Amino acid sequence: MTELALATEVAKFIQVWGLPGLVVVLLGYLIWSDRQRQKNIDADRLVWSNHLSGMIKDNADSNKSLAVSLNGLTAAVNNFQSRCSQIQVAMQHEVDRLKGD
């Protein structure tokens, strides 16, 4: 039904029923408007849910990458500390050897 035909039918309804007809039409409009608003709210909620789900997934992936990188860094630091200890022990042995000669 086109808007013009709808407006014509509403006008006829109000003309036949008078003030009670006007009240019915206004209540009908308010109910229809509320349903449209609810549909828009549901659509917006779905969009935001999808957007937030994507952000959470990206954040989880980022956290995994960070954890892997930190693991590698920890291994490198431990290896460096171990190597420094070996060098220190080797230098101490060399100092002891030189003192003994």
Region 83-94: mean pLDDT is 94
Cβ distance 39 to 27 under 8 Å? no
Quick: pLDDT tens for 46-86.
999 999 999 999 999 999 999 999 999 999 999 999 999 99
- pLDDT tier at 9 (50, 70, 90 boundaries)? confident
- pLDDT tier at 101 (50, 70, 90 boundaries)? low
Task: Give the CA-trace dihedral at 4, 7, 9, 14, to 10 degrees.
Answer: -160
Higher-confidence residue of 101 and 52: namely 52
